[in-house]
């Protein structure tokens, strides 16, 4: 089978984080500091990724600013000619660190936000972070760096959507990703607290359209669909092992950030294997390439080349079988897992959420 080359690397430098968001996409079993790759190991990962064809790297976590060697790692990535993006909560982004990152050649910083009002944002993050984020946004802008922002949307903050967009515009963001929660890891654990009602989602979509008309000229808005409310799944990651790869804090190489949750697969580690071998030849990366692995209804479905049967992680987490069709699909025999969940949310009383905050 012809294997394409990856263009993007997600480098999870650490799982440690001061925030405790209940929708965190990190796995529920977080890696400890003592298991993290060393500076030299990360530099080797970058060199190997570059040789493999990667052209952009996203440094993320947890909170990557907790690594004191971040600037050194960023500098090496830039020296290798990679486009470098940092995904951060903004906590710890002092003036000195912004200057060092800028000196190291960073191309873009993506700052997360939890809500428009400080009170709500801090209660979602489980940490008083909102004011620190406002300061971080100002420092990024004053350093002349591109400010991108992202907000995970859910039942607890969708009502603030227009205010969120207005706030990000006022902080000087150029691009804002409005990501309706995807239910893996901590988010799946909190799904009953996070999943919005269809009525609320309809209202939010109308708010989004109105805000796009007001702010669309100055702020690029990206709306990531709430897939539980779709009829067909997304082509997750643009296909398994097709466009990108993730290196976890402990060196395991994953087709996507969530895939360590697929217990039926085991993943190779850069401490033992070359990245190129892992990409081209490892059983985990080859597990869901092409179409031969598919079961019905995907195997004979005319949409299989558009969505690749949806998300493998979601299939595993909701059905226990990573080869199954993504249950978001209305043709899936497991679609009831989704519809029952939506029905129970619709039938439930409105109440204050009782989040299981992420640990670590």
Which residues are at the interface with ligand FES (CB under 6 A)? 236-237, 256, 258-259, 311-313
Instruction: Specify the residue, 98 or 258, whose C-beta has the smaller distance to ligand FES.
Output: 258
Which of these segments, 43-51, 160-168, 325-333, 349-357, binds ligand SF4 (CB under 6 A)? 325-333
Classify strands 146-153 and 175-180 as parallel, antiparallel or unpaired. Answer: parallel
Among 77, 219, 301, 318, binds ligand SF4 (CB under 6 A): 301
Among 309, 313, 316, 318, binds ligand SF4 (CB under 6 A): 309
Classify strands 83-88 and 220-224 as parallel, antiparallel or unpaired. Answer: unpaired
Which of ligand SF4, ligand FES, none lies near 137, with the C-beta cut-off 5 to 8 A by kind?
none
CB 130, min distance to ligand FES, A? 28
Number of neighbouring beta carbons within 10 Å of residue 79: 12
Vertex 7, ends 6 and 13: CA angle to 5°?
90
Q: Smallest Cα–Cα separation from 82: which of 115, 117, 49?
A: 49
Q: Is 209 in the site for ligand SF4 (CB under 6 A)?
A: no
Q: Is 327 in the site for ligand SF4 (CB under 6 A)?
A: no
Cis before 85? omega within 30: no
Q: Is 297 in the site for ligand SF4 (CB under 6 A)?
A: yes
Instruction: Specify the residue, 77 or 317, whose C-beta has the smaller distance to ligand FES.
Output: 317
Among 37, 87, 298, 338, binds ligand SF4 (CB under 6 A): 298
The SS3 assignment for 280 reads helix
User: Among the residues of 95-224, which ranges form H helices?
Assistant: 95-103, 118-125, 130-142, 161-170, 185-189, 191-194, 198-215
Instruction: Specify the residue, 232 or 277, whose C-beta has the smaller distance to ligand SF4.
Output: 232
- Is 301 marked as binding a ligand? no
CB 166, min distance to ligand FES, A? 31
User: What is d(CA 298, CA 212) in angstroms, rounded to the nearest whole number?
Assistant: 36
Residue with tokens 């529920």: 28
- Is 168 marked as binding a ligand? no
CB 273, min distance to ligand FES, A? 21
DSSP category for residue 252: B
Cβ neighbors of 290 (< 8 A, separation 6 or more) are 1
- Is 21 marked as binding a ligand? yes
Contact set with ligand SF4 (CB under 6 A): 232-233, 297-298, 301, 303-304, 307, 309-310, 325-326, 329, 331
Task: Summarize the annotated binding site for [4Fe-4S] cluster as residue ranges.
Answer: 17, 21, 24
């Amino acid at each position: 089978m012809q294997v394409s080359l990856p263009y993007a690397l997600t480098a999870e430098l650490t799982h440690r984080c001061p925030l405790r968001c209940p929708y965190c996409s990190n796995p529920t079993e977080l890696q400890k500091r003592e298991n993290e790759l060393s500076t030299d190991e990360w530099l080797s990962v970058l060199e190997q990724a570059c040789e493999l064809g990667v052209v952009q790297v996203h440094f993320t976590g947890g909170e990557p600013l907790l690594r004191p060697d971040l600037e050194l790692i960023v500098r090496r990535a830039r020296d290798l000619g990679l486009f470098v993006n940092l995904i951060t909560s903004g906590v710890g982004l002092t003036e000195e660190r912004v200057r060092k990152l800028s000196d190291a050649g960073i191309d873009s910083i993506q700052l997360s936000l939890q809500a428009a009002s400080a009170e709500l944002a801090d209660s979602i993050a489980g940490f008083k972070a909102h004011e620190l984020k406002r300061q971080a946004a100002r420092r990024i802008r004053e350093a002349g760096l591109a400010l991108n922002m992202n907000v995970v949307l859910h039942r607890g903050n969708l009502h603030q959507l227009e205010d969120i967009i207005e706030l990000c515009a006022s902080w000087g963001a150029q691009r804002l990703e409005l990501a309706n929660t995807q239910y893996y890891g901590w988010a799946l654990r909190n799904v009953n607290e996070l999943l919005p009602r269809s009525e609320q989602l309809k209202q939010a979509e109308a708010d989004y359209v109105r805000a796009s008309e007001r702010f669309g000229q100055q702020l690029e808005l990206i709306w990531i669909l709430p897939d539980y409310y779709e009829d067909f799944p997304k082509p997750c990651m643009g296909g398994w092992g097709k466009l990108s790869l993730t290196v976890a804090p402990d060196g395991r190489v994953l087709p996507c950030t969530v895939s360590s949750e697929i217990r039926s697969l085991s993943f190779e580690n850069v401490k033992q294997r070359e990245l190129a071998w892992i990409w081209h030849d490892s059983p985990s990366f080859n597990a869901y390439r092409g179409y031969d692995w598919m079961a019905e209804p995907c195997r004979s479905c005319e949409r299989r080349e558009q969505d690749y049967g949806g998300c493998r992680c979601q299939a595993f987490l909701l059905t226990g079988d990573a080869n199954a069709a993504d249950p978001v699909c209305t043709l899936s025999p497991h679609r009831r897992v989704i519809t029952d969940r939506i029905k129970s949310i619709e039938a439930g009383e409105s109440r204050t959420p009782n989040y299981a905050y992420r640990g670590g």
